[in-house]
Amino acid sequence: MPAIVQETKTGKVLMLAYVNKKSLAVMLKKKYTYFYSRSRKKFWMKGETSGHVQKVISIKTDCDRDTLLIEVRQVGAACHLGYHSCFVHLLDVKGNIRRVTDRLEFDPKTVY
């Protein structure tokens, strides 16, 4: 199921990931975000490599109960590219993608 991760302090959407039963069960128990990578077919903890973890504050579901909204306290950056949020690209009126001028919080070459 898709999970939208939102910073509780600012309301900023940080990322979207997917959960399965195992990752949700571990997340509820440990109070840190855990996900399931559909492409790698792997269970993972956010920040396991970078140390930029997400402390779970609350987990809500939408009215159809098929999407989660996870409110977190973000430690460091949420994006593996080094930005605070994964949503750093902007579409112009023609549909062209350009990078938003968010500042890097870390150099991804030093972590990955």
- 3-state secondary structure labels for all residues of 28-83: HHHCECEEEECCCCEEEECCCCCCCCEEEEEEEECCCCCCEEEEEEECCCCCCCCC
The SS3 of residue 91 is strand
What are the structural domains of the chain? 2-110 (3.10.20.810)
**pTM, rounded to two decimals:** 0.90
Average pLDDT across the chain, whole number:
93
Q: Using the predicted structure, report yes or no on whether residue 42 has a pLDDT greater than 80.
A: yes
Report the pLDDT value the prediction gives residue 91, as an integer from 0 to 100.
Answer: 87
The SS3 of residue 19 is coil
pLDDT in tens, 51-81: 999 999 999 999 999 999 999 999 999 999 9
